Structure 1
Amino acid sequence: MRPAYVTQEGLEDFIDRAFKEDLGDGDHSSLASISADAVKSAYLIMKEDGVIAGMELAPLIFSRLDREMTIERLVKDGDHVKTGDVILRLHGKVRAILGGERLLLNCMQRMSGIATKTAQLTELISGTGAKLLDTRKTTPNMRMLEKWAVVIGGGVNHRYGLYDMIMLKDNHNDFAGGITASVNATKKYLSETGRNLKIEVETRNLEEVQEALAVGGVDRIMLDNMSPKEMTAAVQHVAGRSETEASGGITEKTIRSVAETGVDYISVGALTHSIKSLDISLKAE
């Protein structure tokens, strides 16, 4: 279940930087108290119900510290787990278990929190045809894992960064002199640079929706901070001539009514910027 942006090189680079941050010149607590040849077992146990994510990281993390460590994954990414479930077992050098414990837990707890929230919101809009999107509101240097967790939870990734899609938000349009000027400048730029990028335009009212349609070449129209009534009117006016995306302060209480307006996508920044990590613990066997 790895999206294309989750590469082996990217994962290894992330783990390198994380160990440099955490281990420094050594885990002196373990070096002082645990003998180098001590070999024991440990397990991961769930302290909360939720959707698990990050299981694939365990062998990548612990193999750096103990190439002979055995790892038994008892669930897979995307599985629903319950409090008390043992999800993974380790057997290897104790120093390696302790050295990799916090990195694995930090990643899995956050990823599982994101996957759980994504699954909950996806269920709330089931049957409407709308798809749940993430945003760029991610933790610096954690975007790969956080967007991966959204996919594991059943959501869809929006653009990965500033380079793989054009998104003309209100500030772009205001600085450029309006939607028409902004879109026309963008089409000229894409033509001159030979880039083939989709164009999305943010709109704040029906008049701006009409302008985005009139200028042409817009692949998706964002309906930002509109009421369900306004969104319904906008979707009906667009009439399939462009994809539509709802955005702006959407919550568990409002997401169903937003989905029922007929929008194609609903983007929720809270999937990654305001998530509660799922509680997971590592215990000595």
Structure 2
Amino acid sequence: MTNPLPRILIEPIVRAALLEDLGRAGDITADAVIPATATTRVAFIARDPGIIAGLDCAAIAFALLDPTLALHIHIPDGSEVHPGDTIATIEGNARAIVSAERVALNFLGPLSGIATATNFIAKSIAHTQARITCTRKTTPNLRALQKYAVRCGGGANHRFGLDDAILIKDNHIAIAGGISSAIARARAAAGHLVKIECEVDTLEQLAQALRAGADAILLDNFTLPALREAIAMINHTAIAEASGRITPQTAPAIAETGVDLLSAGWLTHSTKVLDIGLDFLP
């Protein structure tokens, strides 16, 4: 079970989405068509197999429009679903339910898609020591939610921002005058709890990063033979992360080289939405 995000982190994001959808006059369709006192009962139904993530977002969307709505979760975040499964039911004021429906699904579908894609990779490399991790390639203002979805799928999180770890990449290296210089400067500036990771493109650069004492190495676009050689060079003295060309097809072979992490930006920016519908119940 994945620990839920604090409501205080989620609510402003969901509130902003509702304000965008309600516009300047509210849901004029629901107000015109549905009597103010009408009640109904609906259910989130899975139409694809996958892993659920984002139910708290959906719950908050409904609660913000009408706190008296009753939402009952049958299949919690991080759980597997199959087509036809009832994920959750909501009952209460009909206007509030139909007005919150789209915002709720706009969180639940994409976040469940991220969890599903992550889980597929996680299962494919479960026979190794490696873990699949996301990156900072997230939708602006949705990073916390998308990284939560990765955890729901059995993945790990990379940096949450620029301030929680030092990651020296090619542009940093070029401007600093080389790998050794960049790592030395980073080490002098880093606090005692801040890890330093360095991106390398070649085995020669890897040797430099290891001599300079990097805590983690990002092995970018290495071939499988080069990855195996790199792992032998690192020899457990630093965390080894493989990046580039990580797909469901390539992940198992990359993980089998002995790397600790596989990072893939597409998990949070290019995954397919999990098809979930909101169906009315008799």
Whether the 8 Å contact between 2:15 and 2:64 is mirrored in structure 1 is: no
8 A Cα contact 2:15 2:61, kept in partner: no
**Partner in structure 2 of residue 268 of structure 1:** 264
Q: Is it true that 1:110 corresponds to 2:110 in the alignment?
A: yes
Look up the equivalent residue of 1:246 and give its one-letter code.
Answer: A
**CA shift digits 1:87-133 (9 cap, x unpaired):** 11111111110111011101110011111111100111112100111
Question: Aligned partners of 2:209 and 2:3: how far apart in 1?
Answer: 31
Measured after TM superposition, the shift of residue 195 of structure 1 is 6.3
Residue ranges of structure 2 left out of the alignment (5+ in a row): none
Q: Deviations over 1:68-88 (max 9, x none)?
A: 111111111111111111211
Q: Which amino acid aligns with 2:244?
A: G
Q: Under a length normalisation based on structure 1, what TM-score does the superposition of the two structures give?
A: 0.95
**1:28 alignment counterpart:** 28
Aligned residues: 280
Check whether the contact 2:58–2:108 (CA below 8 A) recurs between aligned residues. Answer: no
The residue correspondences of 1:1-285 to structure 2 (distance < 5 A) are 1=1, 6-25=5-24, 26-190=26-190, 194=191, 196-216=193-213, 218-285=214-281
How far did 1:57 drift?
2.6
Displacement of 1:253 in angstroms is 1.4
CA deviation digits over 1:127-154, x for unaligned, max 9?
2100111001111111111100000000
Deviation at 1:173, TM superposition (A): 0.8
Rounded Cα–Cα distance in structure 2 between residues aligned with 1:107 and 1:213: 42
CA 1:110–1:164 in structure 2 vs 1: closer, same or farther (change >3 Å)?
Answer: same
Cα drift, residue 3 of structure 1: 5.2
The percent of aligned pairs where both chains have the same amino acid is 41
AA in 2 matched with 1:269: G
Counterpart Cα distance in 1 of 2:162 and 2:45: 38
- For the 8 Å contact 2:49–2:80, the answer to whether it is kept is yes
Amino acid at match of 2:204: E
Read off the aligned partner of 1:73 and give its amino acid letter.
I
Unmatched 5+ residue regions in structure 1? none
Q: Does the residue aligned with 2:72 lie in a helix, a strand or coil?
A: strand
Cα deviation digits, residues 165-184 of structure 1 (max 9, x gap): 11001111112111111111
CA distance in 1 between partners of 2:14 and 2:53 (Å): 16
Residue type matched to 2:134 in 1?
D
Q: Tell me how far 1:45 sits from its aligned partner.
A: 1.1
Post-superposition CA distance 1:189-227 (Å, at most 9, x none): 22xxx56311100000110110001112x1100100000
Instruction: Give the aligned CA root-mean-square deviation in angstroms.
Output: 1.4
